[in-house]
Chain A
Amino acid sequence: MEIVVFLLFALLALASAVVVVSHRNPVYSVMSLVVTLLSLAALFVLLGAPLLAALQVLVYTGAILVLFLFVIMLLNVGRETPSGGTGRGQKIGALVTAAAFGLVVISLLWGRFVGIEMPALTVEYVALKPLARTLLSKYLLVFEMAGLLLLAAVIAATVLARKVGKSRGETV
């Protein structure tokens, strides 16, 4: 049963991810990204991390992708026009690189998995309270640094979005 559910969502995630990069209409791309992220959320549930799944749905599908849609619709982005910049050599190069990397990943899956034995996720690991405790004790420094990073990102977005004056004398 579990393997069926896994295969279903894994294939769904892969297929919709292909649509994200291949479709020319950005709205369709975003909608398939929603499917990808929802399937990943389902996989998180299978792995025994329901909180992560809930966060994935809330933050990614709920907030970020809706924002994507807003931006695309507000900017009225049409179908992606072929830019002509991608030459033949570039395409071949991309394919060869992708194939090489794919081979590496496949051999990684085929090879015997050697690594540290990790305990299975239990409630003590993934419930909200222990998660919050870990985040604010062991990972406190990283947590605060992420806050700083987000602040820098906000400043960056503001600087980029500010209107540019035409003449050189004008303050930008």
Chain B
Amino acid sequence: MIDPTEFWLLAPEIFLAVAAMLLLVAGSIGRGVRNRPAAAVALLSLVATALLVLWAYGKGGSSEAFLAGMFVLDSYALFLKLLLLIATGLTVTISGRFLEEGGYRPGEYYSLILFAATGMLFMVSGYSLLSIWISLELMALSSYILAGYFKRERKSNEAALKYFILGALSSGVLLYGISLLYGATGTVHVGELAARLGDLVSTGEQPILIAVGWLLLAIGLYFKVAAAPFHVWTPDVYVGAPTPVTAFLASASKIASFAILIRILFEALPALKADWQLITALVACISMIWGNLAALTQDNVKRMLAYSSIGHAGYILIGVLCASEEGLWAVLFYLLAYAFITLGAFGTVIILEQREYAGETYSDYAGLARRSPFLAASMLVFMVALTGIPPTGGFFGKFYLFAAAVEAGWIWVALVGVLTSAISLFFYFGIVVQMYLKPSEDTTPRPMPAVGLASTIAICAIVTVLLGLVPGPLVELAKASLIPLP
């Protein structure tokens, strides 16, 4: 049933998993590896994996699922895989500081990052609910541990425990939904599921088994993308986790979760399009309103960014619920822009952090423009982009999403999006005001940050601005990476 030669197309995933295992072994010999070599190996293997992804796509990329219908290597998967590898690579470059200063072992850390990335690569290619679920668990399990990697800090322990319990709950909900859908249709294959659901739904009465099944499935997925009202885990986990891990969760993990959300809604549940559009519209609005309002009241920058990521999950869901070509490529564009913005913003937070959790409040940013013009300028770029003001990638991202919503007739959702973006101006610019207008109590100029960290922030800021000046190429790329519409 399976042609063994098809396994060649899994080369990127297999390579990355092997690299993760080698790092693990290297980390446990003697005194273990030091941070720099470990990070270099991790980065190199991510680059090699990206090349292998391109090679595999060139060799056998098509929208036909293979390996008994479990795995698909279409242009959608290609786009997301490369994006995920970039986001993971940037996470690696901003991780060094906390490992070195805290004295945490780098071998296992980078190994777990690579394991999570392997899970993500499998997720975006999953074409069976079974393979999607298992790869989701591979990503989630690695992330739980990464969130608790600051083992001496109670907040980090708390983050790991909360993330684990709520993550396990949401995985259970997801699996329950999958099992009900399997009970109704007798298949977990995405394509067959769509066909059989179509038959069942077209007979007129929609069996309640299917209704409960897809609803639980969707709720599990909303949990994973941290959309309100399924967001309760997000703030505590984002604040408690080591900041590089928070950046990883807010960028790569979120992208992969959105990838499977879209794959499942578009390709497995097209028969229930009207239903999930409505539910997604509600979830999107609640996320945008709650995320942005709650972010207004925060004093801690990491917590503010956590709530803002809930709000941004709402914006991205706008593109999903349109179920149109414009909506889909707008989502892909936004995911890429958002990854760079988030990683850059959290990178800046890392530099300002001292002694693990200090230096995270708004007032710690006072007078930053005087002390470190580079950091203040890049943070300014990220805040402007998160608000959605030109000339940044954040502006075009939001613009395309709202335009797609208006075109698809979801004007009220777009309206909520515009209004909440206006609200977000207050808390994003709270930081800008602190940096540029408030005098600083601490006038010592900050020492230059490590090269890796500084160059990552610079890259993120440059990409953010570039996307705002010339969005065309990325739009073309995203347009070429669509999946069949429902």
Contacts and interface: CB of A to CB of B under 8 A. Distances in A.
Nearest to B185: A116
A107 B142 contact: no
A170 B134 contact: no
26 contacts: A107-B208, A108-B208, A108-B212, A114-B205, A116-B184, A138-B68, A139-B130, A140-B2, A140-B68, A141-B10, A141-B68, A145-B122, A145-B131, A146-B134, A148-B115, A152-B119, A153-B141, A155-B115, A156-B141, A156-B142, A159-B112, A159-B149, A164-B151, A168-B101, A171-B105, A172-B105
B71 A141 contact: yes
Interface string B95-128: 0000001111100100110010011001000001
A107 B183 CA distance: 16
B3 to A, nearest CB: 11
B434 interface: no
B471 interface: no
A140 B128 CA distance: 13
A118 B32 contact: no
Given A116-B185, A146-B134, 4 more contacts: A107-B208, A148-B115, A160-B145, A171-B32
A-side interface size class: 35 or more
A69 B370 CA distance: 61
Contact of B1 (A108, A113, A118, A137): A137
A110 to B, nearest CB: 9
A104 B209 CA distance: 10
Interface in A119-172: 137-142, 145-146, 148-149, 151-153, 155-156, 158-160, 162, 164-165, 168-172
B2 A137 contact: yes
Contacts of B137: 149
Given A108-B209, A115-B200, A168-B103, A141 B145 contact: no
B205 A156 contact: no
Nearest 7 CB-CB pairs, A to B?
A114-B207, A115-B184, A116-B186, A156-B145, A141-B70, A138-B68, A164-B151
A111 interface: yes
Given A160-B145, A169-B103, A115 B207 contact: yes
B152 interface: yes
